Every structure is written in C-alpha cells, then in structure tokens.
Amino acid sequence: MNYRARPKLRSVPKTIGGDVELANFMTGLPADYALDVNAVSARLILAAVPGVVTAIPSVHASVRAAAGQQEFPVGALDEDTPGFDTTQRGLQYYHPVDWGRLFLGNGGSCYIDADHPEICVPECASALDHLTWTRAGLEICRRAMLAANAGLAAEGGGRIRLLANNSDGRGNSYGSHINICVTDECWSAVCLKNGPAAAFTASAFAVLAALFGQGKAGHEAYGAPCKYQLSQRADFFNVTREFSTQWPNRGLINTRQEPHAAARHGVERMHIIPFDFALSQSAHLIKTGLLQLLFALIESGAPLPEALILRDPVTAFQRFSRDVALKAAVPAQSGSETGIIEWFERFLDLLEGWKEGFEDSVPGAGSILLHARWLSEALRARDHSGLAAHLDGWSKLGLLKSAMSCDPALDWSSPEIKALDHLYASLDEEGLYLQMERADKAMTFFSEADLDAAIRQPPKNTRAALRARLIRVIPADHLRSLDWGEVIFDLDPGGRPVRLAMPPPWAHGLDTPAGRAGDYSKLCAAVNAGASFEPHHHHEPDTTDTHRTDHPRPATLR
C-alpha cells in the first residue's frame, strides 16, 4: 500500500461543537392565512426558548411581546409593522441568517437562520458529551414547540411542526454542521493547500457522510434518480472545496474561517457541513468520534495511504449514498478501486495503529473505535437488521419497506412514503425515531437524568462552563455582548464597558481569577484588578504564524 508522507503538526484537544437547523412549518391554518408560516413558527419557537439576549438586549423581550399581540402577528415583524420600531427595539442589526440569538444556561445558543430555528451545541470535549448536549438542544426546541402550540391552541388554531432532518424533498437542503478544533497548520493543510491532508479529508467526508446519513426516499437537485439513498445531503454537493455553504457551489470541505478564539492560541475551527443530522445515538457517537480522530490523525503526521484517497470524492459521495446494496466501488489514488466497506475497514486499521497517541486530544478514543469496529463487521456481513439498530439510513429503509409491504398500493413514488420519510425526524409525538427510543427499540447512551442536566447545565470541562457562569453572574442590563470567543459588559463602579476574550475552547476558565468570581461585584473587582479568563496552562505552543486574516483563497483541489 502506498503512503503519502507528511510532517508532524502541532496538536490541540479536539473540542467539538455544532449546530442543527430545524425544518419548521405549520398545519391546521385557514385557507386564507396570508403570513409566512416559516417566519411565524420560527419566531414563536424562539420566543418560547429560555435564554439570554447577547448583543442587543431588547430583542428577546420584543419578540416575546410581539408574539403575544394579536393585532401585530409575529410573522409580520418587519420595518413596516405598526408598533414595532426596529430602531427603538434593537433590530437595526437584523440579519436574515442570524436573528435574535440567545445564549442558553447550558452554554449553547439558539437563533433564527433564514426563518428556521437553529440550535447551537456548547463546546464539548468528547463525542459522548456532544451527543448528550445535542439532544438537550433538540429537547429545548421540542419543549418550545409544545409551549408555542399551547398558545396557538388557546387562540383558536394552528400547530407548529419541527423536523430534525436535512432536506425538504423539494430541492432544498439545510445544514447540520459539526465544528472541531484544529491547529491553524492543520486547517491550512486541509482548507488552503493541495496535498494529502486535504485529499484525505475530502475522501473521509464522502464515505462517512454517506455511511452515517439519515436516509431519504428519492433524489433531489441534480442527483441521479434513485428510489432510496443513505444521505439526504449528497445530492447538494458539487465541488470538493469551497467557502460557500450554499448551492450551487457547496463543497465537501468548507473553508469558512471563524476560529472563535484569539489568534495567540493558534487554533482554528473546522466547519464540517456534508453530514446529515443523526437521530440514532449510536450513529451520532461513532460519527463525531471518528471525525475527532480524523483530525487528530492528520495532526499526528501519520502517513496517509493512497488507497484511502479517492480520485473524485464528490462523485463517490453520491454513488455511496445510493449504494444500499454496499457493492459500489470507486477509484482511489493508488490505482485500485474501493467500496465503502473496504474503505471503512482500512480507515479503522489506520486509526487503531495510532490510537495510543489520541487519548489526550480525543477522550474515549478506544471506546469509539470499538463501536466503529463492530459497525464495520455488520457492514461486512451486510447485516441490515444489525445496521438498522445503529444507523438511521438503514433504520428508515426498514420502516419504509415495512409500510409498503403492508399496503401494496404504495411504492417509492407515493406521497405517503415521502410523508413517512419526513415523519421519521419529527420532534413531536408522531416522530418515528423518537417513538422507537421511547419503546426501547433504539440504542441509548445517556439517561433521562443526564438529558435533564444537560438542558440546564453546561459541559464542565470546556469554556461553555465559563459562558454559563457569566450568564448567571452578569446582570442582563450590564451585558452588552456575549459570543463564543468574547464577552463585553459594563463594569461597576462607573459602568465603563470592558471586553474580555474567552479562553481557548478546551479550557473551562473557572480556575482563573476572573472565572472564580461567584457574583457580579467580585467579577468587577477582579477585572478592575487586571484579571482575565486566560488559563495559566493550556495547549498553546509557541508559534510565529498565528495570523489568520490574510490567508489566500484556497487552490483548486485536484
């Protein structure tokens, strides 16, 4: 097997975050209902989410107030709405893809992106934590949906529905993104340069995004016709690497450069966009853990086998997505062909050979690889029932086939099948996957007590813990801005504003002089004395090149 030699890079903990954009619509409305149901439902959901407004303190209160004013329907909140002055209410900074952002008590956030509710996961150290806090975010949105629907029922009609899926079946796709901390050298090797790291990453995304897809009946956009495929997103990618997250130039590797950390930390945020949202807890755990290990491997300097570097990752993504029989093969740089099973087995072999060096940066690496190895054996055996217990794509496939076997009039083109396809990801009582969880027919990795704690509390070992404390400590009328990488608030006495950078994502910051402050007066005293949230010891090796604002555009990835 040929290998592509590479230099060893610095390494940082593979802290992981993400966001889930939910599909939202309304049913039970009169035929003459004239408002945009996406806008109405998204704003009613946001109004029911308990959180703290960040840069514009009046937004959340004004959303809540407007949602309760029948004469000014929430769906009509714009510059022309009587009684809703955007300048006075703080909406002069309205942006259609980031509106009304709230930070939550568990360190995450929620906002509206293009009239869809979006939940953001707080920084997590492990794949298991990421799974738990992601599902906590879904539960926060589900409870907000129930509260909003109770209000609609009291007013006489309408019901909001939320789906945790990634395409609407009509040619539109929306993201479920994963973010992983990497060094700036690793980010440059993947996002800017032509080399083995970039080609290997694109290949891994193509295989893993197909394997861990949520499943979809039919095809969309410019994808080749099919009855069923494993990935909802595969039809919507047409280039290997690109800055845009939108069609028609959506790349497997997204080169968005938003580190959410000070340049001195030498860290970047890998913004990963090809993956479907995994409702299966097993799929979520293995997928996120393998992505952490992927970038730990790249930073380790391990040679990358040419047999794992695909010649055309975009085409491979779409072929593997349609390969429910697990028989398709695509050309690799080595000159041979590989199928999804062979690629996955070789990838695990490579990771297992280096796993001893990953435990510091990827907590639970050994457990992730054990779960992944079991999955590879089920793939090799083509055990569809075993795969259905762990992967959404096969779970949904079994449900849809069962429905068609019960009613011979149904086939893959039937609207009833597409309705069941969407219902799989519904967050209400009819949601097929959540019904399986409640009936103990799906694997679970956390308890109800764990979920309840994650709704209210942040992960304890990342800077989400500090963000959650600041939300509790700083009075709302003194908090000017809160974001992932910084906080701006008014100091007492005198009320002068101060900006403090947050620590690097993997540092909780609670052991710093400012982070230890248990109330607002102590925080002000510490900051006035020169304290910050910077940890004394963290993964911050010396580097002479931490400037990230002058990177050139990436070269075309061949």
Give the per-residue pLDDT at 83. Answer: 30
Instruction: Scan for tokens 């966009």, then name that residue.
Output: 273
Is pLDDT of 183 > 90? Answer: yes
Residue-wise pLDDT for 447-459, tens only, equals 999 999 999 999 9
Give the per-residue pLDDT at 22. Answer: 98
In the predicted model, what is the mean pLDDT of the chain?
Answer: 88
Contact 318, 25 (CB under 8 A): no
Is pLDDT of 75 > 60? Answer: no
Of residues 337 and 55, more confidently modeled: 337
- Smallest Cα–Cα separation from 455: which of 41, 107, 87, 1? 107
Is pLDDT of 276 > 60? Answer: yes
Q: Are β-strands 176-183 and 16-21 bridged in parallel, bridged antiparallel, or unpaired?
A: antiparallel
pLDDT band at 346 (very low <50, low <70, confident <90, very high): very high
Q: 374: burial class by Cβ within 10 Å (0-12, 13-18, 19+)?
A: middle
Contact 474, 519 (CB under 8 A): no
Q: Please give the average per-residue pLDDT across 58-76, as a whole number.
A: 36
Is pLDDT of 317 > 60? Answer: yes
CA 437 vs. chain centroid, Å, equals 21
Instruction: Scan for tokens 């694997």, then name that residue.
Output: 443
Distance (Å, whole) CA 245 – CA 83 = 36
Give the per-residue pLDDT at 459. Answer: 98
Q: Please give the average per-residue pLDDT across 165-171, as a whole number.
A: 94
Is pLDDT of 84 > 50? Answer: no
Give the per-residue pLDDT at 537. Answer: 46
Of residues 331 and 356, more confidently modeled: 331
Give the per-residue pLDDT at 95. Answer: 61
Return left, alpha or beta for 94; rule: phi > 0 is left, psi -120 to 50 is alpha, else beta.
beta
Contact 124, 133 (CB under 8 A): yes
Q: Please give the average per-residue pLDDT across 84-94, as a whole number.
A: 37
Give the per-residue pLDDT at 547. Answer: 33
- Give me the helix-helix angle, 281-300 and 196-211, nearest 10°: 170
Give the per-residue pLDDT at 534. Answer: 78
Is pLDDT of 181 > 80? Answer: yes
Instruction: Scan for tokens 């016709």, then name that residue.
Output: 225
Structure tokens belonging to residue 490: 């008014």
Half-sphere exposure of 224 (CA within 13 A, CB side): 10
Residue-wise pLDDT for 419-441, tens only, equals 999 999 999 999 999 999 999 99
Is pLDDT of 190 > 80? Answer: yes
Is pLDDT of 350 > 50? Answer: yes
Is pLDDT of 386 > 90? Answer: yes
pLDDT band at 58 (very low <50, low <70, confident <90, very high): very low
Per-residue exposure over 168-182, b if at least 16 CB sit within 10 Å of its own CB, e if not: ebeeebbbbbbbbbb
Angle at 226 between CA 221 and CA 228, to 5 degrees: 100
Is pLDDT of 90 > 70? Answer: no
Structure tokens belonging to residue 468: 């959650």
CA dihedral sign, ordered 369, 308, 177, 257 = positive
pTM for this model (two decimals): 0.90
Residue-wise pLDDT for 455-482, tens only, equals 999 999 999 999 999 999 999 889 988 8
Give the per-residue pLDDT at 63. Answer: 39
Q: 93: burial class by Cβ within 10 Å (0-12, 13-18, 19+)?
A: exposed
Give the per-residue pLDDT at 97. Answer: 76
- Smallest Cα–Cα separation from 461: which of 114, 68, 43, 16? 16
Q: Which residues contact 538 (CB under 8 A, 6 or more apart)?
A: 265, 503, 504, 506, 507
Maximum average pLDDT range among 94-103, 188-197, 219-228: 188-197
Contact 540, 504 (CB under 8 A): yes
Cα distance between the two ends of the chain: 21
